[in-house]
Chains A and B, each alone.
Chain A
Amino acid sequence: MGAPAGLQADCEALLSRFQEMDSVRFEDFTDLWRSMKFGTIFCGRMRNLEKNTFTKEALALAWRYFLPPYTFQIRVCALYLLYGLYNTQLCQPKQKIRVAVKDWDEILKFQQDLINAQHFDAAYIFRKLRLDRAFHFTAMPTLLSYRMKKKIQRAEVTEDFKDPNDHVMKLITSDVLEEMLNVHDHYQRMKHIISADRANPDKALSLIKDDFFDNIKSIVLEHQQWYKDRKNLSLKSKGKDGEEKSEGNSQQLERSERAESLAKIKSRAFSVFVQASKSRRHRQVKLDSSDSDSASSQRQTKATRKRKNKETLKPEGRKMSSRYRGDMQNVHKEDKSVSLSMPVITEEEEENESFSETEFTAPKRRRKHRTKSLV
């Protein structure tokens, strides 16, 4: 028998509401538990056999959320949920919580983390369950009876309760940033020391952007903010406060946003073209805007204008970057409401241009500079 109808929905409702509370206190959990009257989930004149089966299923379901890969908060809530279900069940003697040996070490580690972080209420709850001998110590989490099911019911991990994989944050951690800052400072100091004029280092030694570290930091912070907003956004859209309409609207908004962003991508792909060399000028590709969308063509013209303002002899890399720049500014303005696209990091050609122009006039050097500015 599969999980009883609605049980998963109810448990996930409880878990997500707890997640919104942004707390791990048992008091908050019990307030939520009482407000949802979750203890009544066993009511309804179930006969003995059904009571047993239902309780077993409920405990097994709650157990899943107690193990990784769920977030810390969800796992604590699952622990409280297990405590609640175990103690409010109507079976005599009580149905037990099954623990497989392969999971036990992880659970003990979790308990130790709770104690270290001084979440004494959660640790107390687990200790109490263990004292009450609420567990069955088993080989595997469920009974394996070699039933040839038509659909193998894989337990699906609810995405919202997981910490989504944030690869950027994994790569650029606070340790890495700190170290970068140290190295940068050290390098700058070295340059000062070995220069003739202590105040200003030799221009010849200016091989990197001075504000490189600040830029990276702000980019990372921006990313973090975007990430947080994205998470909050998806949480909010799950809220229950009369949002039929707003959901519909936001969906529409999303759809039109998607259409726009798709158009943007396409236009970008097709409008960037290589500046043909002198010998092949006759085969120069011309930009022919076929977009019916006025907004995007507007953007294009804006960008083209910007392009025209610059010096003509520029390698295509710069053109691309300025186009992106132009686009990005507009994108930021429009997409603030529902932004699910990742912010694009721009190459900051503009500020350094004057600097570069004075320093490196030869085209070769310019190219070199270009690559270096990507640092």
Chain B
Amino acid sequence: MAEGSRGGSTCGGGVGGRQNPVPSSGGCNFPEYELPEMNTRVFHVAAFGELWLGRLRGEGDLSLKEPPAPALPGGRGVADSGQEDEAVARDLGCSLEAAAELRAVCGLDKLKCLEEGEDPEVIPENTDLVTLGVRKRLLEHREETITIDRVCRQETFAYEMESHAIGKKPENPADMIEEGELILSVNILYPVIFHKHKEHKPYQTMLVLGSQKLTELRDSICCVSDLQIGGEFSNTPDQAPEHISKVRTIIEWSESHDRGYGKFQTAKMEDFTFNDLCIKLGFPYLYCHQGDCEHVVVITDIRLVHHNDCLDRTLYPLLIKKHWLWTRKCFVCKMYTARWVTNNDSFAPEDPCFFCDVCFRMLHYDSEGNKLGEFLAYPYVDPGTFS
């Protein structure tokens, strides 16, 4: 049950009216598997954060500033090395000489496997590594079959989504994320209609901050059903609204045990942040909007913010993964995305049939704008519109 701490959490200790999160008394706030490798038991998000904050050093572990550059052999002054050795000797309880020796013995140069000038992308000839053997065979196979191995649009798209915001700093320092902030990774599954999606449901992944309100996530979910317009417009095609606005309704969060008897708790989304929630990781929750449009939502991960993450809070909730959907193209020109769908259409070879705006009007209406033939026409919003 995704509940706010005010609503009487099942974690124990949640009293009505209290704003503060449940204190981490150990017990129920250690995330642990309920069903191994599948989902965890319920735990309080902010209390989990506290578990980490209590165990880490602010200066070193939690800082969002760039860390000092790694030591390059021979590239540092003596003074710096001396300071470092002192710190090492202090932390490990060894002598200064030992610390200096450690710096030499554990240097990164000791891990170099390639000579100077060797290309890091080329697989070395006589390798025992199984991984490389597999990879080599794949490359050789491609060469033999003259398969051109260029990156396709989908892969570029996916990589860009994953990495486009990495390391971004805000212009306004007030928008900087604070140390110790939690980042939740949320998978939102598309309402599945297609049969091909039975095995592998398409989803998008969003990163959301612990301190953000639930409404912020809701607002960022672009659902096609928000854009649907009811009504048949074959007689008055011009009245079909061009710009469609989203209709907001009261949202309910509920546990998706089974469709039918889930526990419901209506709560105002704008009153709760993600930090206030008690949730299970890996467990499907249900998000309903537009009355009957349901999305399954799974929170897959929570972690502390890292200095390499996107540090601009205005960019959150951040979309990092999206299922690539092929848009339906107009049946006539096969170029533009379909904006109209017709049924019982005397002009159309199939039912239903999709048309872009121009082809639709050209086929079904004369130059005066009079309706030709028999058909039913509905404005169509393609799910791939948001790709």
A positions within 8 Å CB-CB of B: 4-7, 9-10, 13, 26-27, 30, 33-34, 36-49, 52, 83-84, 87-88, 90, 93-94, 96, 98, 100-102, 104-105, 108, 115, 118, 120-121, 123-125, 127-128, 130-133, 135-140, 142-146, 152-154
Chain B hits for A42, CB < 8 A: 120
Given A27-B105, A105-B55, A120-B92, answer yes or no on A93-B166 (Cβ-Cβ < 8 Å).
yes
Of the A-B pairs whose beta carbons lie under 8 Å apart in the complex, a sample of 22, sorted by A's number, is A30-B111, A33-B111, A34-B113, A43-B123, A43-B124, A44-B139, A96-B308, A98-B303, A101-B48, A101-B51, A105-B55, A121-B105, A124-B102, A128-B106, A130-B60, A131-B67, A132-B70, A137-B56, A137-B304, A138-B301, A140-B301, A146-B298
CB distance from B55 to the nearest CB of A (A): 6
User: Would you list which residues of chain B between 262 and 283 have a CB under 8 Å from chain A?
Assistant: 281-283
Q: Check A37–B301 contact: CB distance below 8 A.
A: no
Output the nearest chain B residue to A149 by Cβ-Cβ distance.
B37
Compute how far the CA of A152 lies from the CA of B37 in the bound complex, rounded to whole angstroms. Answer: 8
Compute how far the CA of A115 lies from the CA of B91 in the bound complex, rounded to whole angstroms. Answer: 9
Compute how far the CA of A262 lies from the CA of B321 in the bound complex, rounded to whole angstroms. Answer: 60
Q: Check A127–B304 contact: CB distance below 8 A.
A: no
Contact with A along B70-92 (1 / 0, CB 8 A): 10000000000000000010011
CB distance from B189 to the nearest CB of A (A): 9
CB distance from A85 to the nearest CB of B (A): 9
Q: Check B92–A127 contact: CB distance below 8 A.
A: yes
Contact with A along B270-302 (1 / 0, CB 8 A): 000000000001111000000000000010111
CB distance from B273 to the nearest CB of A (A): 17
Compute how far the CA of A105 lies from the CA of B37 in the bound complex, rounded to whole angstroms. Answer: 21
Q: Check A96–B302 contact: CB distance below 8 A.
A: no
Output the nearest chain A residue to B62 by Cβ-Cβ distance.
A137
Interface centre among A125, A145, A152, A153 (most CB of B within 10 A): A145
Compute how far the CA of A100 lies from the CA of B67 in the bound complex, rounded to whole angstroms. Answer: 22
CB distance from B165 to the nearest CB of A (A): 12
CB distance from B51 to the nearest CB of A (A): 5
CB distance from A139 to the nearest CB of B (A): 4
State how many residues of chain B have any CB contact under 8 Å with chain A. Answer: 73
Compute how far the CA of A105 lies from the CA of B54 in the bound complex, rounded to whole angstroms. Answer: 11
Given A101-B31, A139-B302, answer yes or no on A43-B37 (Cβ-Cβ < 8 Å).
no
Chain A hits for B131, CB < 8 A: 4-7, 10, 41
Q: Check A143–B123 contact: CB distance below 8 A.
A: no
Compute how far the CA of A90 lies from the CA of B114 in the bound complex, rounded to whole angstroms. Answer: 13
Chain B hits for A139, CB < 8 A: 31, 40, 43, 48, 281, 301-303
Q: Check A26–B284 contact: CB distance below 8 A.
A: no
The contact of B30 among A84, A101, A144, by CB within 8 Å, is A101
Chain A hits for B94, CB < 8 A: 118, 120
B98 on the A face (CB < 8 A): yes
CB distance from A321 to the nearest CB of B (A): 48
Q: Check B129–A10 contact: CB distance below 8 A.
A: yes
Contacts A39-B111, A44-B135, A136-B303 given; 10 further ones with Cβ under 8 A? A6-B134, A13-B128, A39-B114, A40-B124, A42-B120, A94-B308, A139-B48, A139-B301, A140-B31, A144-B281
Interface centre among A10, A108, A132, A137 (most CB of B within 10 A): A137
Q: Check A38–B129 contact: CB distance below 8 A.
A: yes
Chain A hits for B39, CB < 8 A: 144, 146
Compute how far the CA of A83 lies from the CA of B70 in the bound complex, rounded to whole angstroms. Answer: 13
Q: Check B187–A145 contact: CB distance below 8 A.
A: yes
B133 on the A face (CB < 8 A): yes
CB distance from A57 to the nearest CB of B (A): 10
Compute how far the CA of A33 lies from the CA of B162 in the bound complex, rounded to whole angstroms. Answer: 32
Compute how far the CA of A152 lies from the CA of B32 in the bound complex, rounded to whole angstroms. Answer: 18
Q: Check B133–A6 contact: CB distance below 8 A.
A: yes
Output the nearest chain B residue to A54 by Cβ-Cβ distance.
B131
Compute how far the CA of A202 lies from the CA of B88 in the bound complex, rounded to whole angstroms. Answer: 66
Interface centre among A26, A49, A94, A121 (most CB of B within 10 A): A49
Output the nearest chain B residue to A100 by Cβ-Cβ distance.
B31
Of B151-159, B220-228, B236-244, B359-367, the one touching chain A: B151-159
User: Would you list which residues of chain B between 106 and 122 have a CB under 8 Å from chain A?
Assistant: 106, 108, 110-114, 120-122
CB distance from A13 to the nearest CB of B (A): 8
CB distance from B103 to the nearest CB of A (A): 8
Compute how far the CA of A83 lies from the CA of B48 in the bound complex, rounded to whole angstroms. Answer: 27
Q: Check B106–A96 contact: CB distance below 8 A.
A: no
B93 on the A face (CB < 8 A): yes
The contact of A47 among B123, B151, B304, by CB within 8 Å, is B151
Chain A hits for B254, CB < 8 A: none
Q: Check A145–B282 contact: CB distance below 8 A.
A: yes
Output the nearest chain A residue to B89 by Cβ-Cβ distance.
A120
Chain B hits for A136, CB < 8 A: 303-304, 306
Output the nearest chain B residue to A50 by Cβ-Cβ distance.
B155
Compute how far the CA of A371 lies from the CA of B138 in the bound complex, rounded to whole angstroms. Answer: 71
B8 on the A face (CB < 8 A): no
B247 on the A face (CB < 8 A): no
The contact of A88 among B38, B111, B130, by CB within 8 Å, is B111
B5 on the A face (CB < 8 A): no
Q: Check A5–B151 contact: CB distance below 8 A.
A: no
Compute how far the CA of A124 lies from the CA of B108 in the bound complex, rounded to whole angstroms. Answer: 13
Q: Check A133–B129 contact: CB distance below 8 A.
A: no
Output the nearest chain B residue to A51 by Cβ-Cβ distance.
B159
Output the nearest chain A residue to B102 by Cβ-Cβ distance.
A124
CB distance from B375 to the nearest CB of A (A): 42
The contact of B114 among A40, A49, A83, A137, by CB within 8 Å, is A40
Given A133-B61, A133-B307, A137-B61, answer yes or no on A144-B282 (Cβ-Cβ < 8 Å).
yes
Q: Check B105–A26 contact: CB distance below 8 A.
A: yes
Compute how far the CA of A154 lies from the CA of B105 in the bound complex, rounded to whole angstroms. Answer: 37
B347 on the A face (CB < 8 A): no
Compute how far the CA of A153 lies from the CA of B52 in the bound complex, rounded to whole angstroms. Answer: 28
CB distance from B43 to the nearest CB of A (A): 8
Chain B hits for A37, CB < 8 A: 113, 124, 127, 129
Q: Check A48–B123 contact: CB distance below 8 A.
A: no
CB distance from B98 to the nearest CB of A (A): 6
Contact with A along B134-150 (1 / 0, CB 8 A): 11100100000000000
Q: Check A96–B111 contact: CB distance below 8 A.
A: no
